[in-house]
């Protein structure tokens, strides 16, 4: 009558440079692994259909929505979350977000920032059109996106200037 | 005072950064779902899948015996533990002279369910998945009844009534203004026009889904409740009303809030379930809504039809405006709905115009849908949309120029303070100045050339103008109070009632203190008052936090300045009246001092001069009474339609807003951006759809379109700062003006583009499909 319990699997991921090994139900999503097992709550859940992008993180160099993948699928992977971005100093994308007033409530911000980091990594000199296109998978209800696009543009500029120095 | 700040200059203000931002960009924000307690239980809501049904049998025994389940709660349990129905605004006085009979929503359905998503039972289990799995074992039998999927269906002859007290499904009808005077004006009018517009049902969509976590301490008999709110005191009072748990036994904690937009004033069913479960079980209980759940159960927005009529004389002067509205309140009267659909809708129904006669009649109708309540603007965007569409429509129908006719009908500056024909008092506005600046910034003079160029490129271009005025929130508390306490280290902590959800309270309030008292912004903190405070005031809402709480902060600064003056005089060994604070610096009249000052002192230096005890003694409660203000503006929009696809691009957007004194230009601009894009969402894509059986068919982001990056590429923004004497700061509210100004401007631009194709009206949202059909149905 009662459903049988879901099988438990031990999953190891390198999250922000630290090895995280936890036994989890096989239905555990990456975002649940990060939030509930690693206690990294900077990665947010804003929907249940993989539309909002609040849970965007970087896995093995690509930004993904952490609600679209099971933790067990990623055993051994390297994950960067918003908490792992600032290395002493703020990351240029973080800096640009605050300087351009690209956040209000801040709930979509971690996902926006992670999607932007990946966008700039793959296109160091994006046009505003390309930025808007690149952020199509991330929803924000407060800012109207104008300052977010400006911030990513600004961050790319900062990063290009930084790499020439 | 009559100054203008043009948007582009604001960008020059570099090194901007809000105090709120750092933790949020580091991922160290603390939202409700981030709150966990060891051993916490999880609550799952069993919801109605039927829009209208009687529950004939409910067998939850298998749910109760499922693994991990601690408690299954039904309506009886809620009542046994003191729970009541969810709150509603006071009843409206109806046209028959009787007060509206309210049908409040039960926390959990008793015999009837009246909308899809209505909570029926709560399952509390050790894990979320256990609660969810157990809920599937519920055996509930329903006797289905015919449903009304919207207010129009509910008004059809033979429609099934939702509530015994409302046989025709009319919850209340409300009127404002003078019907006889309006009819007399229409009888003598040269031109008359009628236009019906719809402000379709929306979701508010704060990005953080609603959530609540409660922890009960049996030793102290106190419950700590974490939840997003717009201010703790209103959440607390509403929670006490519907949970039966006294305010004195609950501490509400709100850390970061992922947007509110009017949806988070008070407690929902889940708050009551979580708080009662935590107290009864003696364990922490958590509920975090999924997006699908909160789409079903967060109060919905808008959902009304406004049937407008305007009477004009031969020269195009407005003689009268009349509205007949039909509002969908959903299945129950919840929270602000009765207030919004009466006061808010009618208070500025004459718009920016001198109108001799006004009359509004509104019918609030029940339907088998989620109840509606406040969402950004709460009635004001709807009425501004209706007036400004009607104005444009009438001008085109009678061969009048929309811009010249607006100008001719503006309430002239000399007429302020102005009382509208239905009794609203505006203090001071200059609509002509505002529109003139907007048209200039929009380069209106060269529009014809841009239109011709677009036409050569195969695009269909349209221009829309809106001129709006809105009444920001009057507030429900008698006054706004804040308390300020300096620490021994010289950090000023201010506590007020209003709670932020992204607006930047900390940043603007610190700026007010910096301006008034000279303290550095980094030494100022703001927090929302907790249970047991003696402070009174209003939560966030109605665009009033900045001028409501801000005015109280200004008053607090006056008192702190007086205290500092006395302390400083003692240090300088002079009379207090010799000490002056001017241009941000403290000085004393030289003759009064035994040793002359080498230079004026900053407030930071003065605080450093004081002893820690003196600093810690600086304390004041600021207070101010601030009512509604009348923010107004003019938005000018140019759109281009691609006739191949029906897609619309916004190619020129100018917003000039008259907001009184601007405290934080960046934050003002951010509010305008956000408001305009929410308006764009309503104009072009967002709509909540129920099918004819009353099933919600836009139940996720897969079906409910949201504005995305790039939908608005640029916004030319300026503010005009006219003083207002309605509050100590001289500021007006900005939070909702973007929504209010954008809807009519966008819609007027769309109608301007489509008019050559024989179309003079179209309901929002202007989806590519709808627009394409119009462009391609031309013979």
Indicate whether B290 pLDDT > 90: yes
Q: What's A148's DSSP letter?
A: H
Q: What's A141's DSSP letter?
A: S
pLDDT at B4: 43
Q: Which of residues 94-133 of A touch B (CB under 8 A)?
A: 94, 97-101, 103-110, 113, 128-129, 131-133
Indicate whether B598 pLDDT > 80: no
Residue A130 counted as domain residue? yes
Residue A17 counted as domain residue? yes
Indicate whether B316 pLDDT > 70: yes
pLDDT at A165: 46
Residues A74 and A98 in one domain: no
Select from B22, B30, B701 the Cβ nearest to the Cβ of A47: B701
DSSP secondary structure letters along B63-115: HHTSTTEEEEE-HHHHHHTT--PPPBPPPPBPTTSSBP---PPPSS-SSEE-S
Indicate whether A150 pLDDT > 80: yes
Select from B24, B205, B670 the Cβ nearest to the Cβ of A109: B24
Residues A74 and A102 in one domain: no
Q: What's B140's DSSP letter?
A: E
User: How many domains are there within chain A?
Assistant: 2
**Do the bridges between strand B524-528 and strand B492-496 make them parallel or antiparallel, or are there none, so unpaired?**
parallel
Residues A96 and A74 in one domain: no
B interface mutation test: which of A47, A104, A109, A114 has the most B CBs within 10 A? Answer: A104
Cis amide bond preceding B417, omega within 30: yes
A interface mutation test: which of B7, B26, B27, B655 has the most A CBs within 10 A? Answer: B27
Residues A79 and A99 in one domain: no
DSSP secondary structure letters along B452-508: HHHHHTT-EEEEEEEEEE------SSS-EEEEEEE-TTS-EEEEES---SSS-HHHH
**Strand (E) positions, B139-297?**
139-144, 170-177, 191-199, 211-217, 222-226, 250-253, 285-288
Residues A102 and A121 in one domain: yes
Domain span at residue A17 reads: 8-84
Binary contact (B21, A41; C-beta < 8 A): no
Q: How far apart are CA B48 and CA B484, in angstroms?
A: 48
pLDDT digits (tens, 9 = 90+) for B508-535: 999 999 999 999 999 999 988 777 778 8
Contact B659, B727 (CB under 8 A): no
Q: How far apart are CA B370 and CA B254, in angstroms?
A: 26
Enumerate residues 6+ apart whose C-beta is below 8 A from B83.
B107, B242, B243, B244, B272, B276
Residue A2 counted as domain residue? no
CB pairs < 8 Å spanning A and B: 196
Indicate whether A125 pLDDT > 60: yes
Residues A66 and A98 in one domain: no
Nearest-Cα residue of chain A relative to residue B203: A141
How large a percentage of chain B has pLDDT more than 70? 97
Nearest to B408 by CA among B484, B344, B355: B355
Binary contact (A104, B292; C-beta < 8 A): no
- The minimum CA-CA distance between A40 and chain B, rounded to whole Å, is 8
Q: How far apart are CA B674 and CA A119, in angstroms?
A: 23
Indicate whether B467 pLDDT > 60: yes
Residue A1 counted as domain residue? no
Select from B133, B259, B288 the Cβ nearest to the Cβ of A142: B259
Binary contact (A97, B666; C-beta < 8 A): no
Q: pLDDT confidence of B14, banded at 50, 70, 90?
A: low
Indicate whether A106 pLDDT > 70: yes
Q: Which domains are assigned to chain B?
A: 1-15+427-472+629-779 (3.30.365.10), 480-624 (3.30.365.10)
pLDDT digits (tens, 9 = 90+) for B84-98: 999 999 999 999 999
**Do the bridges between strand B480-486 and strand B619-624 make them parallel or antiparallel, or are there none, so unpaired?**
antiparallel
Select from A82, A131, A143 the Cβ nearest to the Cβ of B27: A82
Hey, is B596 helix, strand or coil?
coil
pLDDT (average), residues B452-476: 95
Residue A3 counted as domain residue? no
pLDDT (average), residues B755-773: 96
- CATH number for the domain that contains residue A23: 3.10.20.30
pLDDT (average), residues B439-468: 98
Select from A3, A47, A148 the Cβ nearest to the Cβ of B291: A47
pLDDT digits (tens, 9 = 90+) for B411-429: 999 999 999 999 999 999 9
pLDDT digits (tens, 9 = 90+) for B324-376: 999 999 999 999 999 999 999 999 999 999 999 999 999 999 999 999 999 99
Give A29's Cβ-side CA count (13 Å radius): 19
pTM of the model: 0.95
In chain B, what residues touch A83 (CB-CB under 8 Å)?
26-28
- Final residue in a domain of this structure, among A32, A52, A84: A84
Residues A66 and A116 in one domain: no
pLDDT digits (tens, 9 = 90+) for A40-92: 999 999 999 999 999 999 999 999 999 999 999 999 999 999 999 998 899 99
pLDDT at B7: 38
pLDDT at B533: 79
pLDDT at B778: 60
Residue B619 host element (H or E): strand B619-624
Q: How far apart are CA B297 and CA B108, in angstroms?
A: 12
Contact B513, B559 (CB under 8 A): no
Binary contact (A145, B15; C-beta < 8 A): no
Residues A110 and A55 in one domain: no
pLDDT digits (tens, 9 = 90+) for B105-127: 999 999 999 999 999 999 999 99
């Amino acid at each position: 009558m009662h459903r049988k319990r879901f099988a438990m699997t031990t999953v190891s991921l390198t999250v922000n440079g630290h090895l995280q090994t936890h036994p989890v139900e096989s239905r555990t999503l990456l975002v649940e692994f990060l939030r509930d097992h690693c206690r990294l709550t900077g990665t947010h859940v804003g929907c249940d259909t993989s539309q909002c992008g609040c849970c965007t993180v970087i896995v093995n160099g690509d930004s993904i929505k952490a609600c679209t993948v099971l933790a067990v699928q990623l055993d051994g992977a390297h994950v960067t979350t918003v908490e792992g971005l600032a290395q002493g100093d703020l990351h240029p994308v973080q800096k640009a977000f605050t300087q351009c007033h690209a956040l209000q409530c801040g709930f979509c911000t971690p996902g926006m920032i992670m999607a932007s980091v990946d966008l700039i990594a793959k296109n160091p000199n994006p046009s505003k059109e390309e930025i808007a296109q690149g952020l199509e998978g991330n929803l924000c209800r407060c800012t109207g996106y104008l300052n977010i696009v400006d911030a990513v543009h600004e961050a790319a500029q900062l990063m290009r200037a930084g790499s020439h120095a | 005072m009559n100054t203008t700040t043009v948007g582009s200059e604001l960008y020059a203000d570099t090194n901007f950064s809000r105090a709120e931002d750092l933790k949020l960009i580091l991922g160290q924000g603390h939202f409700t779902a981030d709150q966990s307690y060891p051993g916490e239980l999880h609550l799952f809501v069993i919801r109605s899948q039927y829009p209208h049904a009687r529950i004939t049998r409910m067998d939850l025994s298998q749910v109760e015996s499922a693994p991990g389940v601690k408690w299954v709660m039904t309506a009886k349990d809620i009542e046994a533990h003191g729970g009541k129905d969810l709150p509603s605004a006071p009843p409206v006085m109806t046209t028959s002279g009787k007060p509206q009979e309210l049908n409040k929503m039960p926390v959990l359905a008793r015999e009837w369910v009246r909308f899809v998503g209505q909570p029926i039972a709560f399952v509390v289990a050790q894990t979320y998945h256990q609660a969810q799995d157990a809920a599937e074992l519920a055996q509930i039998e329903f006797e289905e009844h015919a449903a009304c999927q919207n207010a129009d269906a509910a008004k059809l002859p033979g429609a099934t009534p939702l509530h015994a007290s409302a046989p025709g499904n009319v919850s209340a009808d409300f009127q404002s203004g003078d019907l006889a005077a309006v009819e007399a004006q229409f009888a003598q009018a040269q031109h008359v026009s009628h236009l019906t517009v719809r402000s379709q049902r929306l979701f508010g969509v704060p990005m953080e889904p609603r959530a609540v976590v409660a922890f009960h301490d049996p030793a102290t008999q106190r419950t700590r409740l974490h939840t997003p709110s717009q201010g703790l005191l209103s959440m607390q009072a509403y929670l006490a009303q519907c949970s039966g748990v006294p305010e004195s036994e609950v501490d509400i904690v709100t850390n970061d809030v992922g947007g509110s937009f009017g949806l988070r004033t008070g407690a929902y069913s889940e708050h009551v379930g979580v708080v009662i479960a935590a107290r009864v079980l003696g364990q922490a209980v958590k509920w975090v809504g999924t997006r699908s759940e909160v789409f079903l159960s967060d109060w919905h927005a808008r959902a009304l039809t406004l049937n407008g009529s305007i009477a004009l004389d031969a020269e195009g002067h407005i003689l009268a405006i009349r509205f007949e509205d039909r509002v969908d309140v959903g299945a129950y009267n919840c929270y602000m709905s009765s207030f919004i659909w009466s006061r808010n809708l009618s208070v500025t129904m004459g718009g920016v115009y001198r109108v001799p006669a006004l009359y509004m009649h509104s019918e609030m109708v029940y339907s088998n849908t989620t109840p509606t309540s406040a969402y950004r603007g709460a009635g004001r965007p709807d009425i501004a949309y209706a007036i400004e569409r009607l104005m444009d429509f009438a001008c085109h129908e009678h061969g009048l120029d929309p811009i010249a006719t607006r100008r001719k009908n503006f309430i002239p500056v000399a007429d302020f303070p102005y009382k509208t024909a239905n009794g609203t008092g505006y203090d001071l506005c200059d609509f002509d100045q505002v529109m003139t600046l907007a048209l200039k910034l929009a380069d209106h003079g060269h529009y014809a050339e841009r239109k011709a160029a677009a036409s050569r490129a195969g695009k269909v271009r349209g221009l829309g103008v809106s001129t709006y005025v809105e009444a920001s929130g009057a507030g429900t508390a008698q006054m706004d109070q804040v308390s300020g306490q300096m620490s021994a280290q010289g950090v000023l902590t201010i506590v007020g009632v209003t709670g932020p959800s992204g607006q930047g309270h900390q940043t603007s309030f610190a700026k007010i203190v910096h301006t008034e008292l000279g303290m550095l912004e980094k030494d100022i903190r703001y927090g929302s008052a907790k249970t047991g405070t003696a402070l009174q005031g209003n939560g966030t809402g109605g665009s009033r936090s900045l001028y409501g709480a801000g005015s109280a902060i200004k008053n607090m600064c006056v008192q702190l300045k007086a205290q500092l003056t006395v302390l400083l005089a003692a240090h300088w060994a002079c009379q207090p009246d010799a000490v002056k604070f001017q241009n941000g610096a403290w000085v004393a009249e030289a003759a009064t001092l035994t040793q002359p000052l080498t230079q004026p002192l900053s407030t930071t230096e003065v605080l450093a001069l004081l002893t820690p005890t003196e600093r810690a003694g600086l304390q004041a409660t600021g207070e101010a009474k601030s009512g509604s203000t009348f923010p107004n503006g003019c938005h000018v929009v140019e759109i281009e339609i691609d006739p191949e696809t029906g897609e619309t691009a916004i190619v020129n957007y100018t917003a000039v807003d008259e907001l009184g004194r601007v405290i934080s230009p960046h934050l003002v601009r951010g509010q305008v951006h956000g408001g305009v894009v929410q308006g764009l969402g309503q104009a072009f894509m967002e709509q909540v759809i129920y099918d004819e059986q009353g099933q919600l068919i836009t139940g996720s982001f897969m079906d409910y379109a949201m504005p995305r990056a790039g939908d608005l590429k640029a916004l030319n923004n300026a503010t005009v700062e006219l003083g207002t004497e309605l509050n100590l700061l001289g500021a007006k509210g900005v939070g909702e003006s973007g929504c209010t100004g954008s809807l009519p401007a966008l819609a007027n631009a769309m109608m301007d583009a489509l008019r050559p194709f024989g179309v003079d009206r179209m309901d929002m949202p202007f989806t590519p499909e709808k627009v394409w059909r119009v462009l391609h149905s031309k013979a």
